């Protein structure tokens, strides 16, 4: 599933084609994805100007002139592809329609935005912009790891007394929004913290040091266009490249990249997810 850097990359790719433009026509080609689409979704989107695109955790939000916001979740295999952008940001002609093109936005500037999702684990919903933060999917979320509300005091307080592994704590969207398996593994490696260590037993100094490390890992991944694993593509159809910089994720059995370490990367399963780490460097 795309994590924060991938969703941020897609949102940034959509912005030149969508923000400030009007949805001349919205085609909704099925009644649902993971959940049913909201009532009259095509009619409520058609003719609406996109005032702003933004991201909350792993969701893209398009604020409309109508006072509603469109929530988009890419799910496991969802892709939003741009074609025919008259501003020259994208060079792709409009492709032929495909079987899994479930929602298509024809923009008044000539761009076409296609939501393609073979597995149909993605989702879309409409809500009032003024109360979007109270939506059932957004209300429980913790602070954005790249925002001002994510700081040393927050993480120290969030970890205090927790008997869960630090890997699980960092994946808890109520504590921090948007972190996923890949970037938590990478951040813990840089912080030299074992993924199974109990969150409440890590010193305040080491917890505080995690904050800038998490920010750096995410920022570098965004700069690289995300990580292209399985189905992820950017909005222009290109691949992301951060996977070539992974220190531990997916490198089971390979040598640790820390100079003079000499140990190999190991994998354990935590709550059904693979955790990759170096037993020598991470304690």
Cite the active site residues. 2-3, 58, 273
- Which of 9, 125, 123 lies closest to 64 in space, CA to CA? 125
Question: Within a 10 A sphere around the Cβ of 99, how many other Cβ atoms?
Answer: 8
Could you tell me which residues are beta bridge partners of residue 28? 103
What is the SS3 assignment for 112-163? EEEEECCCCCCEEEEEEHHHHHHCCCCCCCCCCCCCCCCCHHHHHHHHCCCC
What is the rounded CA–CA span in Å between residue 266 and residue 274?
10
- Which of 15, 151, 5, 168 lies closest to 74 in space, CA to CA? 5
What is the rounded CA–CA span in Å between residue 246 and residue 4?
16
Phi, psi of 139 (to 5 degrees): -60, -40
- Chain centre distance of CA 195: 21
Q: Is 183 helix (H, G, I), strand (E, B) or coil?
A: helix
User: Is-contact 231 115, C-beta < 8 A?
Assistant: no
- Which of 189, 145, 146, 150 lies closest to 166 in space, CA to CA? 189
Phi, psi of 278 (to 5 degrees): -110, 120
């Amino acid at each position: 599933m795309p994590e924060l850097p991938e969703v941020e990359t897609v949102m940034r790719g959509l912005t030149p084609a969508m923000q400030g433009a009007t949805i001349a026509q919205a085609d909704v080609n099925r009644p649902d994805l993971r959940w049913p689409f909201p009532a009259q979704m095509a009619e409520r989107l058609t003719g609406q100007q996109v005032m702003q695109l933004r991201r909350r955790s792993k969701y893209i939000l398009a604020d409309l002139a109508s006072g509603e916001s469109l929530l988009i979740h890419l799910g496991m295999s969802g892709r939003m592809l741009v074609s025919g952008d008259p501003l020259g940001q994208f060079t792709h002609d409009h492709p032929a329609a495909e079987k899994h093109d479930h929602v298509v936005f024809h923009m008044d500037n000539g761009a076409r935005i296609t939501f393609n999702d073979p597995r149909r684990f993605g989702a879309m919903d409409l809500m009032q912009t003024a109360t979007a933060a109270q939506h059932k999917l957004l209300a429980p979320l913790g602070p954005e790891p790249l925002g001002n509300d994510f700081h040393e005091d927050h993480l120290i307080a969030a970890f205090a007394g927790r008997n869960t592994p630090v890997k699980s704590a960092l994946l808890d969207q109520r504590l921090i929004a948007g972190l996923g398996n890949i970037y938590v593994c990478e951040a813990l490696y840089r912080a030299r913290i074992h993924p199974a260590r109990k969150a409440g037993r890590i010193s305040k100094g080491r917890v505080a040091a995690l904050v800038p490390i998490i920010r750096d890992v995410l920022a570098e991944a965004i700069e690289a266009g995300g990580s292209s694993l399985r189905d992820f593509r950017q909005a222009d159809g290109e691949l992301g490249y951060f996977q070539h910089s992974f220190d531990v994720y997916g490198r089971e059995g390979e040598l640790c990249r820390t100079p003079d370490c000499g140990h190999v990367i190991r994998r354990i399963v935590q709550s059904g997810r693979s955790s990759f780490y170096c037993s020598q460097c991470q304690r």
